[in-house]
Every structure is written in C-alpha cells, then in structure tokens.
C-alpha cells in the first residue's frame, strides 16, 4: 500500500500558520500535522517520530516544513532538525519561516526575467533583514554587483560579512540609507532595486526612484501602505514606471506561491532534501524554464 504523504508543520509562533497549512493542502499533502510554539529542544523527538515510523523505502512520504514568523527561530529549528539524522535515516526538510525563502526567490526571479543579473548592479534596501539578506545572497550568486543597504552602515557591513561567508566571491558594498541624502547616493547608478523592509515604511521615495535614470527593475516586497518604494503599486507586475519595470508584493505573489507549492511537492520526491534559500531559488528557476 502506498503511504500517504504526511507533512509535519513546525511553527515557532503561538499559533501555527494557516497560510502554510493551506498551501500544504494545495500541494498534495494528505495529512498535515501542525505543531505550534515549537522550541529547538523539542525538535528531536518530533523529527525522530517522523524518521522511525516508516521503513526506509517509505520515508520519502514523510517530510517536515519549518515556518513561523520569526526567521531566526526557524533557522534554529532547521539546525536542530538536521542534527537528528544518521545515515539513510532521514526525512526531507524545508525552511520558509515568514515566507522569507520563497519571497526572496520570487523577487530575484522577477528581476532576472527582465535583466541579466551578471551584468547588473543591484541595491537591496533593508538588506539586514531575513528577506533582504536572502535576496542579496541570491543576486550575488547570480553574479550581480551588490549594494547592501541598512539605515546604519555598521549593520550593513555586518550583513556583508555574513553573506560573504556563504557566497565567497560575492561583490558586496555596504551602504547607509539613514536619510534621503544617503539613499540618493545609494541608489545612484544601480540597475535593480529591491525593497525588503518592514510593512508600512517607505525606503525609497517616488522622487528618488524617478530621478534614478539607470534603474531598470524595481521590486517592492512590502504589501502594506505606505509601500517601500514610492509610486510602485502593490499589484504591479512588470508595470513600466518612468522607464523601470516595477513589481509590487502582490505582483510577485503568484510566483512566490508557485515556488512554495513546487518546493512542498518536491519534498516527497526523496527523503534527503534540505530546502533553504538556495534550493528554493533553484526550484523557482526550474519553474521559469518550464513555463
């Protein structure tokens, strides 16, 4: 008898995400086991329960999804889960806490449809956050020259150091965007801007965006007004504004959702997947090719 596909949803929030649960159901998961308030020290027993119930040839029908709004906590849960395995005794894992991996992948893919990353220079605003850091990493791997922005240059520099440890040949420049003058300098001459900031905070004004004649692609990942990039609409999906192709959060949402579902489905192809930012981006790239 074929085993049903079981997804174990580990969520660090007080209530497990309904969003992640619905996507799981829509990705052919047959039984979803939801866990909330999950702490790293609880992961071992939970993952062992997934590992030690089905035989080796059926283990690929059980997988673990790690979510929750706190990306740092999600990373801790992922680290704890990876430590549970030995030899072939393992189950596939996916991290998408706060949607950070699928969002960063969708943003970079949206840009890559309109410009050659390897020939471009990109500015990521609020690059120290989880989505921002992931976007920088993915763009840098694509060969993009990066400006890594934060209100404080120290924090930007620290983010650059962290990213360099993951992408050795990354071309990263920390830039401060503490005020309009600094932001004007930061954006000057770039081909791509991705705004990865918190909801309701404008990171780049409409004036600065319009004044940036080099700008070819702008992606704003903030869904709650005021948006992160002035003049970009949340529903923008490859809308040309003042010479730049613009995307809003809903505009990249379709791609994000496709990546999320494809990633969940791929968990069940084998029992040894560990899907984090790069792997999820690669899944997104394969979807672009197949379309």
- Only segment of 7-15, 130-138, 167-175, 263-271 that touches a copy of itself (CB under 8 A): 7-15
Q: In the block, which residue shows the tokens 């909801």?
A: 199
**What is residue 271's DSSP assignment?**
S
CB 143 to a copy of itself: min, Å: 33
Residues listed for the chain? 291
**What is residue 32's DSSP assignment?**
E
Helix/strand/coil for 163: helix
Q: What is the maximum span of the chain, computed from C-alpha positions, in angstroms?
A: 66
Strand partners, 9: 34, 65
Rounded distance between C-alpha atoms, residue 272 and residue 88, angstroms: 8
Taking CB under 8 A as the rule, does residue 38 contact a copy of itself? yes
Taking CB under 8 A as the rule, does residue 234 contact a copy of itself? no
Rounded distance between C-alpha atoms, residue 112 and residue 180, angstroms: 28
Binding flags for a copy of itself, 237-266, as an x/- string (CB under 8 A) = ----------------x---x---------
Strand partners, 194: 124, 219
Segment 178-197, which members bind a copy of itself (CB under 8 A)?
none
Taking CB under 8 A as the rule, does residue 105 contact a copy of itself? no
- Only segment of 49-57, 100-108, 240-248, 282-290 that touches a copy of itself (CB under 8 A): 49-57
| Binding residue (CB under 8 A) for a copy of itself from 7, 12, 21, 125 | 21
| Binding residue (CB under 8 A) for a copy of itself from 7, 11, 12, 50 | 50
Of 88 and 168, which CB lies nearer to a copy of itself in the complex structure?
A: 88
- Do 83 and 52 form a contact (C-beta atoms < 8 A)? no
- Only segment of 42-50, 109-117, 183-191, 198-206 that touches a copy of itself (CB under 8 A): 42-50
CB 22 to a copy of itself: min, Å: 4
DSSP string for 3-72 = PPPEEEEEE-SSS--HHHHHHHHTTT-SEEEEE-S--GGGHHHHHHHHHSSS-GGGGGGEEEEEE-S-HH
Q: Which residues here bind a copy of itself, judged by CB under 8 A? A: 3-4, 6, 8, 14-23, 25-26, 31-35, 37-38, 42, 45-50, 52-54, 62, 69, 253, 257
């Amino acid at each position: 008898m074929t085993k049903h596909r079981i997804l174990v949803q580990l969520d660090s929030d007080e209530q497990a995400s309904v969003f992640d649960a619905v996507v799981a159901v829509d990705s052919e998961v047959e039984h979803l086991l939801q866990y909330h308030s999950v702490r790293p020290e609880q992961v071992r027993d939970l993952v062992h329960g997934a590992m030690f119930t089905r035989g080796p040839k059926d283990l690929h029908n059980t997988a673990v999804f790690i979510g929750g709004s706190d990306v740092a906590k999600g990373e801790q849960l992922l680290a704890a889960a990876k430590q549970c395995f030995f030899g072939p005794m393992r189950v596939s894992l996916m991290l998408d806490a706060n949607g950070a991996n699928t969002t960063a992948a969708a943003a970079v893919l949206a840009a890559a449809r309109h410009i050659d990353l390897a020939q471009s220079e990109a500015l990521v605003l609020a690059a120290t956050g989880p989505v921002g850091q992931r976007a920088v990493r993915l763009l840098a791997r694509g060969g993009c020259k990066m400006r890594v922005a934060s209100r404080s240059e120290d924090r930007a520099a620290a983010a650059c150091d962290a990213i360099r440890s993951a992408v050795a040949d990354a071309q990263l420049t920390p830039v401060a965007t503490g005020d309009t003058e600094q932001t004007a300098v930061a954006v000057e001459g770039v081909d791509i801007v991705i705004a990865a900031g918190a909801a309701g905070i404008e990171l780049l004004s409409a004036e600065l965006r319009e004044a940036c004649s080099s700008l070819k692609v702008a992606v704003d990942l903030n869904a709650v007004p005021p948006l992160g990039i002035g003049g970009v609409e949340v529903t923008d999906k490859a809308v040309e504004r003042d010479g730049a192709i613009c995307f809003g959060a809903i505009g990249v949402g379709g791609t994000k959702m496709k990546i999320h579902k494809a990633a969940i489905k791929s968990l069940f192809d084998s029992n040894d997947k560990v899907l984090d930012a790069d792997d999820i981006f690669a899944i997104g790239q394969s979807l672009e090719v197949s379309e």
